[in-house]
Amino acid sequence: MPPPGAERGAWQSLAEHRTRYPRPPMARARPLTAITDLIDRAGLQGRGGAGFPTAVKMRSVAGGRGRAVVLANGTEGEPASYKDRLLLTHRP
């Protein structure tokens, strides 16, 4: 069953999303550097062939200048699944 507001044609702005799903308490209580350090120590890395370290990506974005951009892979790799399409068209 889809979550409330996910019915066909429903769309949610970023402001509405942030109101409904605020940052978790841990993220509000810790500076970004502490979170990226934790991710670095955990050894979290991407699932692509290179296994690129997630903390390196996060630090490069946090230290960057200009407008931040999010790239998302919306490939529907699961048979008969349309969740990626739903999320990309109806949620920020």
Which residues form the domain of 83? 14-90
Q: Is residue 62 part of a domain?
A: yes
Q: Is residue 56 part of a domain?
A: yes
Give the count of domains, the chain: 1
Alpha-carbon distance 32 to 64, whole Å?
14
Q: Is residue 83 part of a domain?
A: yes
Q: Is residue 47 part of a domain?
A: yes
Q: What is the pLDDT of residues 13-72, one digit of tens each?
A: 878 888 888 877 776 778 888 989 999 999 999 877 788 999 998 898 888 788 777 777
Q: Is residue 4 part of a domain?
A: no
Q: What is the pLDDT of residues 56-79, one digit of tens each?
A: 988 988 887 887 777 777 777 777
Q: Is residue 29 part of a domain?
A: yes
Question: Which DSSP string do the residues of 54-66 spell out, in sequence order?
Answer: HHHHHHHHHT--S
> Do residues 68 and 61 lie in contact, with contact meaning Cβ atoms separated by under 8 Å?
yes
Q: Is residue 9 part of a domain?
A: no
Indicate whether this model's pTM tops 0.85: no
Q: Is residue 2 part of a domain?
A: no
Q: Which residues contact 46 (CB under 8 A, 6 or more apart)?
A: 52, 53, 54, 57
